[in-house]
Structure 1
């Protein structure tokens, strides 16, 4: 890490109060950058300020649907990072509005402000021809970023895990109340889970200018695991013995049609569509060094990180399962 590589320079981070955002803000602050966190609700971003020194991190109001607020948020910045994304639509927060139109607004505002350094967070699986709206709009966001700022760096992570994640936490919470966990499509989909702090380090390096301009980096962890592997690992860590039930895609889609419109639905049709494609780093990215290894970042494993936050799902406390293993 470069402790003060960005000393005094200003970075605007859109979506900096979210799961990945708080780690990106911290990584940038540690490098000496001043960080302007552009969010819809600055009053809910107070948790970020202790991540830096006094006055180093400043939340400001911005909404990607309103271009004036985006223009104001990037004024005077040396670099811009766009982390805004959603897993399922809600009200006016649609995939198109957030991940396509919103990304284009950020990119065009960055160009208009004369800023040449833009980092756009996308996702492995972004594809303009995908049957998934999520994947198509992620691809549209990438295209918009590179069209407006040709030197923009695209960062595509696989499933991101960490204390606030919506993957392992979600299924561990589900296991608290259900003796059965569904394995959509038989649980064969492959993932390359990547620790959120490693993703943040890659993004901070892009802001530092240590990445190739105009390149797409695919960010995955050290292990390729199936959906079933992930569920077994989660159950092992929490001590929850659950039946892992294979569910064909057709059955899952039928269930999603009945419940997918409900707030907090287990899975939507679009998320099921995503599960039909493996979510791992491509051979091309590996060969060309557009990965964590290519950035000299040693990714952390699930085994090293999951125990630090999934302990809250154990039945008898943080140390009970480990104590039983030694008896």
Structure 2
């Protein structure tokens, strides 16, 4: 029986490397389409000799994309950006690039396509990121109607860019921010009046394990019944931003002062922070946080795929300890 072949665009990224590892374990021959094949050499040991091959392919290059998907059984597109830089705009990557992959897969006669989007994808969103994700979904389904669309919430795992970011901040800062739209409210009762600094605790997140997301994608490729469906993936619990920061403190063992930040002040801070080469915060990201990042219901998710969601509390202590009190300098590289 011939081995199945799959091309994974963005195969060396945080989610991509987990997907590649699971696909290889399931016997797939994997082409990891990346911008820098040399830097992606670490993927090769995830399979048998010759089973995982990094190759150069930029999703903004139609010819390279067509070559990458030629002769394969399935395609997974995980390429995405959190902020714009130069020619890497939301439109170029999330919309035009995604459409290029879908069209090439269709033209090559590929049987399965899984496209990574995001919770919050909304063509009417205030945030350009969310609008581009929604437009990307439409473009993909127009070119490849049987594609599976995956919308995960914040994805966590050892190399994530969410909890790790706040863990690093906890190492160097005495305070952690909590964005809030309804804080600083006077509250009066029988005992007198006070100020509710955090209100409802800020935006709500439903973090989902990278292992669960990777397993979901593999199952979508294996079962034709999932064709054309959109899946919303979230973890077993929802957290306010205040609770996220409390989770960061408990998993690192560092006590920090939580500071409420009104969205207006957050936008002002982002005006300057987005000028950094690798922005700590952008105005578009602040706009995104005005909408809760949670599963809305009405679409299939992990449960329909037979996957029991992994809790953040079960995983975070395993890698957030690198930011603990006795962590060495450069704790993000510690084991």
Question: Is the TM-score greater than 0.5?
Answer: yes
| Residues 171 and 324, structure 2, Cα contact 8 Å, conserved in 1 | no
Return closer, same or farther for 1:25/1:138 CA change in 2, 3 Å cut-off: same
Equivalent-residue separation in structure 1 for 2:232 and 2:309 (angstroms)? 13
**Following the alignment from structure 2 to structure 1, what is the Cα–Cα distance between the partners of residues 297 and 236?**
14
Q: Confirm whether residue 223 of structure 1 aligns to residue 230 of structure 2.
A: no
Determine the C-alpha separation between the residues in 1 that align with 2:290 and 2:224: 34
User: How far 1:116 sits from its partner (Å)?
Assistant: 3.0
Q: Deviations over 1:260-317 (max 9, x none)?
A: 22223321000000100011111212xxxx0101111011111111111111111125
Q: 1:266 to 1:120 in 2, by over 3 A?
A: same
Structure 1 residue 211: deviation in Å? 4.7
Per the alignment, residue 114 of structure 2 pairs with 119
2:291 to 262, 274, 277: 277
* 2:213 alignment partner in structure 1: 199
CA-CA distance at 1:7 after TM superposition: 6.7
Aligned residues: 309
Q: Is the 8 A contact 2:119 2:152 kept in 1?
A: yes
Q: Which residue of 2 aligns with 1:296?
A: 306
Unaligned 5+ runs, structure 2 = 181-197, 329-335
Cα deviation code 1:90-130 (max 9, x no counterpart)? 22211111111110110010111111311001000001111
1:48 aligns with 2:62: no
Moved more, 54-63 or 91-100: 91-100
> Following TM superposition, where does structure 1 have runs of at least 4 consecutive aligned residues deviating by more than 4 angstroms?
none
Give yes or no for contact 1:127–1:135 (8 Å, CA) kept in 2.
yes
Corresponding residue SS for 2:38: helix
- Give me the whole-angstrom Cα distance separating, in 1, the residues matched to 2:258 and 2:56: 44
User: Which stretch shows the higher mean deviation, 34-43 or 89-98?
Assistant: 89-98
Out of 181-190 and 130-139, give the one that drifted further. Answer: 181-190
Deviates more, 1:265-274 or 1:184-193: 184-193
| Alignment match of 1:145 (pick from 140, 148, 173) | 140
Are 1:116 and 1:152, in contact at CA under 8 Å, matched by a contact in 2? no
Distance in 2, matches of 1:42 and 1:106, equals 18
Q: Which residue of 1 aligns with 2:258?
A: 244
Matched with 2:325 is 315
1:37-94 deviation per Cα after TM superposition (whole angstroms, max 9, x unaligned): 1011101101111111111000111011111000000000100000000111122211
TM-superposed CA distance for 1:169, in Å, is 0.4
Q: Is the 8 A contact 2:5 2:29 kept in 1?
A: yes
- What is the RMSD of the two structures over their aligned residues, measured on CA atoms? 1.4
Q: Secondary structure at the match of 2:115?
A: strand
